Homo-oligomer: A and B are copies of this chain.
């Protein structure tokens, strides 16, 4: 038996945003591994074993997936969005680096997906149409000071900013601090997009000026995008279009 491991992105939620490459890997898999709500998106079928695990056990989950691939299973580790952006690909490679030498010889592939910021941007217009950055606002795995520092430097660089994991029940304060920092650093009414549950039936898109953004506008399922100083709003019936022009005049 020749096992393999695919680290696959399921996109933001809508099945029409799952790439054929990922669909094919899932069709060939013997085992699917991942966080409970993501594994729940994979259809059950004979010959496929689903291994769902809770949040914050990414390294245990990675080891389990690697052990099964080593034993000859065809394993797909699923993330929502893209597996390379604040998701399972880095966790798998962390496990590979400190694991047995045999794991380096495994057939491991990363199968990209539509990451949340691209889906959210598409729904709002084109806020990421010029230079931008992506920051994970969770301080579970890095010091809060580093997040603050990055926010200030990103504002100074005049990047549009995409924020993953802006707020959770266990971290209610961070996002409020982040908004305060941005208001100090940007000092204007640049647009903030709150894109919740994008491409699902629960999707909600809200656009407010930074001065009116409130922490409770975001939750675990929300992607937040803050425009640069040049981001524009086109008003119209049916909701505004937010976009960042391609050019900056000299």
Contact = CB atoms under 8 A, between A and B. Distances in A.
Contacts of A114: 19, 112-114
How many of these chains are in the complex? 2
What is the interface residue range for chain A against chain B?
A: 35 or more
B136 A131 contact: yes
A48 interface: no
A126 B43 CA distance: 27
A89 B128 CA distance: 10
B122 A248 contact: no
Interface in A101-122: 104-105, 108-115, 118-119, 121-122
A32 interface: no
A131 B150 contact: yes
A130 B24 CA distance: 28
Pairs A-B, 8 closest by C-beta atoms = A90-B129, A89-B126, A141-B247, A110-B122, A133-B133, A93-B243, A16-B21, A142-B248
